[in-house]
Amino acid sequence: MIVCYARGDGLGHLTRLRAAAHTLAWDGEITVVTDSPHAADPRITGGWTVRASLDGLAADELVVDAFPAGLKGELRLPEGVRVTHLARRLRWDVYRTRLPAVPPRFHRTYVMEPLEAEHEAYLRTVSDEVAPLTLTDPPAEPVDVEGWLIVHGGPEAEVRDLVSYARDMARLEHRHPAITLASPRRPDRLPPGIEHLDVYPACPPGPLVSRIITAAGFNAVRQFAPWRDMHRMVPFPRSLDDQFARAAHARANS
């Protein structure tokens, strides 16, 4: 059994695990330890067992997502289990203060995007092997809506900010595109003329989509990389995720 430790209340951890399971061809039973409310959605975790803690789990392999010692440094690894870490960019100056005195060790760390130098150096001290990994999502039907597509699974205030950004951009460009919001929840006070679509996954875009607007989370930047010419990113502040650095890197390398 593969057990995935994915603390955090966002959708990103689960989407990343779906892609990792597909890319690495995980076979057999998968259990996810998470407190994300999105874990109740069978489109996201269908076929997986969802648990609240590691207690009592007999894992053949433990996969630790994003935070090498858990969200708050709480992770204590069971003995005799092979441990893999999925590393994405963190605000390392903040996160390193949460590391325990005896940090978890990993048999292998997969680096999925450029990290701060200090972050990568730390992972090399606690990993037997460090290797790059490019994630591939499971096949999905295109989200084919006409016009502009806003995709965000985050807080409602951020969804409203992305909608405002799209409308301001259209006004400055003297355009009148159809705009569709793909989000798990329809926000209150959604402006007239903005359609809402509850779809998962929200990628790939279909041929009728002419612009994509997202935050600068790990999955959004990764998934929409093939459409960078029509992808607009709005980074939001996070306590541990550096969306600003990720957006800057994506723009510089597009």
**Domain-by-domain residue ranges, the chain?**
2-132, 147-252
pTM for this model (two decimals): 0.94
Find the helix or strand (DSSP H, E) in which 3 lies. strand 2-5
> Which residue type occupies 148?
W
- The two domains 2-132 and 147-252 share their CATH topology (first three levels equal): yes
Residues 160-185 as b/e (b if ≥16 CB within 10 A, e otherwise) read bbbbeebbeebeeeeeebebbbbbbe
The CATH T-level fold of domain 2-132 is Rossmann fold (3.40.50)
pLDDT at 58: 86
Cα–Cα distance, 216 to 152 (Å, whole number) = 10
- 163: phi then psi, degrees, rounded to nearest 5: -65, -45
Mind listing the pLDDT tens digit of every residue in the chain (254 residues)?
Answer: 999 999 888 899 999 999 999 999 998 899 999 999 899 999 999 999 999 999 888 889 999 999 999 999 999 988 889 999 999 999 999 999 999 999 999 999 999 999 999 999 999 999 999 999 999 999 999 999 999 999 998 889 999 999 999 999 999 999 999 999 999 989 888 898 899 999 999 999 999 999 999 999 999 999 999 999 999 999 999 999 999 999 999 999 87
Domain 147-252, CATH homologous superfamily name and number:
Glycogen Phosphorylase B; (3.40.50.2000)
Residue partners of 237: CB distance under 8 A and separation at least 6? 243, 244
Cα–Cα distance, 95 to 89 (Å, whole number) = 11
